[in-house]
Amino acid sequence: MIGDLVKANRSCRRFHEDHPVDLKTLKELVDLARLSASGANLQPLKYILACEPRMNSEIFSCLGWAAYLKEWPGPEPGERPAAYIVIIGDITISKEFGVDHGIAGQSILLGAREKGLAGCMIGSINRKHLREILNIKPQFKILLVLAVGKPKEEIKIEDVGPDGSIRYWRDSEGVHHVPKRPLQDIIVATHTA
Amino acid sequence: MIGDLVKANRSCRRFHEDHPVDLKTLKELVDLARLSASGANLQPLKYILACEPRMNSEIFSCLGWAAYLKEWPGPEPGERPAAYIVIIGDITISKEFGVDHGIAGQSILLGAREKGLAGCMIGSINRKHLREILNIKPQFKILLVLAVGKPKEEIKIEDVGPDGSIRYWRDSEGVHHVPKRPLQDIIVATHTA
């Protein structure tokens, strides 16, 4: 059931780094993105895959983690992603990428979740550095980095409280809490017979 | 299996218009979007739902359909969507919406597909007209319109041919063909142990 999968598919930032994610798995995930919708079917997205410790470490050094957790600089060694999918846009195909990378990212992470993995779409990227590390040509725009691995954190969805804050937070036992706006707050009008 | 659902989830533009899609169903679909990832968890997306013939007809008049099918102005009466989900961004929450509406749209259309429905994310919108019709306040930016209904077309995924064209096309029997780039063309580099 897609509802269960969507609910289970929480943005995850701590992983069992020693649990490998192989290239075959990453390709299966990209295939889900490949078969998803693309604006005007242009399909301008391309992918760089990494599941090798040294390169993972280089990619990790380009990423910003969990802006609301001010005292947490990101996952420690041993809890970092075992793989990355870097989504880049080919500007020789299209200058604009619309929401293609959102659609692709959602397909990929739902697929990862089904495989017992988890991940996170990361937009806070040192793009200049990542371009050097991965030798990304000027023909490509860096859009998103998806971290992937076996999850090592408990995440709870909650309703936004009376203070209205949407900031996720961690309790003393390390459980990650994510406040979501209730349905009645996000549906602003209905037109029915 | 998410793979089967992603594959079955084709952008659909002809529907059994007499097959109703009720408000409860639309709310269930929006709930999938609600529980999906949002940049910095800001959740700036809001939704307007319509499943009423007169309002549907008004919304329909604001939409551009299938740019590559030059001789097809869009679905005829009787084959139009039975419902719409209009995704708007609340600029009092965030000025930027990133790819949140792509993530939301993918969750919604996967959910629709599971329910035996289908849909299409439409970005070609007469926004000024739609704003008037739906009385959308300046606080909201119009992002996407999702058409939803019971599908009435056959759609085939194919590999992009030797000419490299990604334009979808319809054959003489009305089957809609969608060329997709093969996996080896979209993965530009891999880094493995």
Of A3, A45, A191, the CB nearest to B52: A191
* Contact assignment for B188 to A46 by CB distance below 8 Å: yes
pLDDT tens for residues B45-88? 999 999 999 999 999 999 999 889 999 999 999 999 999 999 99
Cα–Cα dist B144/B134, whole Å: 14
Of A6, A7, A41, the CB nearest to B168: A41
* Contact assignment for A48 to B2 by CB distance below 8 Å: no
Residue A66's identity, in one-letter code, is A
Min Cα–Cα distance to chain B from A175, Å: 17
Q: What is the pTM of this model?
A: 0.98
A66 backbone φψ class: left, alpha, beta (φ>0; ψ -120 to 50): left
ipTM over 0.85: yes
**CB-CB neighbors (< 8 A) of A187 in chain B:** 27, 30, 46-49
Ordered DSSP codes for A30-42: HHHHHTS--GGG-
Per-residue pLDDT of chain A (193 residues; tens, 9 = 90+): 999 999 999 999 999 999 999 999 999 999 999 999 999 999 999 999 999 999 999 999 999 998 899 999 999 999 999 999 999 999 999 999 999 999 999 999 999 999 999 999 999 999 999 999 999 999 999 999 999 999 999 999 999 999 999 999 999 999 999 999 999 999 999 999 8
The residue in chain B having the minimum alpha-carbon distance to the alpha carbon of residue A37 is B11
Of A9, A32, A193, the CB nearest to B3: A32
How many angstroms separate the Cα of A30 from the Cα of each of A64, A66, A97? 23, 25, 17
* Contact assignment for B191 to A50 by CB distance below 8 Å: yes
The residue in chain B having the minimum alpha-carbon distance to the alpha carbon of residue A89 is B186
The candidate with the shortest Cα–Cα distance to B177, out of B66, B18, B26, B54, is B66
